[in-house]
Chain A
Amino acid sequence: MSAIAPKFRFSYFLRSILDNVFWIITLLTLVGIPLAMVLFFYFELPVMNNNLTSPYLMLTTIADPSRQVPLLKSIMHSDFFRITAFPGFGFAALLAAATIFIERKMLAKLQLRVGPFYCGKIEGILQLAGDGLKLISKEIIIPAKADKPIFWAAPVLFVATAAAFVALIPVAGGGWVVADVDVGLLAVFAIIGFFPVITVLSAWSANSKFPFIGGIRALHQMVSFEIPLILSVLGIVILTGSLNLSEIVQSQIHYWWIVFLPIGAIVFFIAMLAELERIPFDLPEAESEIVAGWLTEFSGMMYGLVQLGSYVKLYAFSALFVVLFLGGWNGPMIWPPFPEDIIKNGIVMGPITAHIPGLPLLDQQMINDVVWFVIKTMGVIFMILLPRGVFPRIRIDLLLHIGWYKLIGLCFVNIFIALGLLYAGVLGPGGIL
Chain B
Amino acid sequence: MVGEYAANFSHVLLMFGFAIVAVGPALLISRMISPRKRSNPVKFLPMECGQVPQGEGRTHFMMQYYSYVLMFVVFDVMAIFLYAWGSSLLSLPKTATLPIIAFLGIMFAAMAFALYQSKRRNIW
Interchain CA distance A302-B43 in the complex, whole Å? 17
The answer to whether A136 touches B115 (Cβ under 8 A) is: no
Query: B96: CB under 8 A from chain A?
Result: no
Query: A68: CB under 8 A from chain B?
Result: no
What does DSSP make chain A's interface, helix, strand, loop or mixed? helix
Q: Which of A26-51 contact B (CB under 8 A)?
A: none
Query: A343: CB under 8 A from chain B?
Result: no
Contacts of B31 in A (CB 8 A): 140
The answer to whether A179 touches B57 (Cβ under 8 A) is: no
Interface mask (A182-213 → B, CB under 8 Å = 1, otherwise 0): 10011101010000000000001011111011
What does DSSP make chain B's interface, helix, strand, loop or mixed? helix
Contacts of B111 in A (CB 8 A): 408
Give the tally of cross-chain contacts (CB within 8 A): 201
Contacts of B103 in A (CB 8 A): none
Q: Given A186-B80, A206-B46, A231-B82, do A400 and B68 touch, yes or no (CB 8 Å)?
A: yes
Residue of A nearest to B73 (CB): A223
Contacts of B58 in A (CB 8 A): 204, 207, 212
Residue of B nearest to A312 (CB): B19
**B108 CB to nearest chain A CB (Å):** 8
Query: A300: CB under 8 A from chain B?
Result: yes
The answer to whether A160 touches B36 (Cβ under 8 A) is: no
Chain B CB count within 10 A is highest, among A216, A241, A404, for: A404
Query: A280: CB under 8 A from chain B?
Result: no
Number of interface residues of A (CB under 8 A): 85
Query: A340: CB under 8 A from chain B?
Result: no
Number of interface residues of B (CB under 8 A): 63
The answer to whether B22 touches A178 (Cβ under 8 A) is: no
Interchain CA distance A297-B104 in the complex, whole Å? 44
Residue of B nearest to A228 (CB): B79
Query: B52: CB under 8 A from chain A?
Result: no
Contacts of A84 in B (CB 8 A): 18, 22
Interchain CA distance A301-B27 in the complex, whole Å? 6
Interface mask (B96-114 → A, CB under 8 Å = 1, otherwise 0): 0100000010001001000
Interface mask (A205-230 → B, CB under 8 Å = 1, otherwise 0): 01111101100100110011011001
Query: B45: CB under 8 A from chain A?
Result: yes
Residue of A nearest to B35 (CB): A139
**B87 CB to nearest chain A CB (Å):** 5
The answer to whether A423 touches B94 (Cβ under 8 A) is: yes
The answer to whether B47 touches A156 (Cβ under 8 A) is: no
Q: Given A83-B11, A141-B43, A224-B68, do A89 and B22 touch, yes or no (CB 8 Å)?
A: yes
Known pairs A136-B33, A139-B37, A140-B34 / 7 extra A-B pairs, C-beta < 8 Å: A89-B15, A160-B23, A163-B15, A182-B5, A209-B57, A210-B47, A237-B87
Can you report 25 residue pairs joining A to B where beta carbons are below 8 Å apart? Answer: A79-B11, A89-B22, A136-B34, A139-B34, A143-B47, A144-B41, A144-B44, A145-B46, A156-B19, A163-B16, A166-B15, A167-B11, A179-B11, A204-B58, A212-B57, A213-B61, A220-B69, A230-B79, A234-B86, A238-B86, A242-B87, A243-B83, A308-B23, A400-B65, A412-B108
Chain B interface (Cβ < 8 Å from any Cβ of A): 5, 8-20, 22-24, 26-27, 29-31, 33-37, 41, 43-49, 53, 57-59, 61, 65, 68-69, 71-72, 75-76, 79-80, 82-83, 86-91, 94, 97, 104, 108, 111, 115
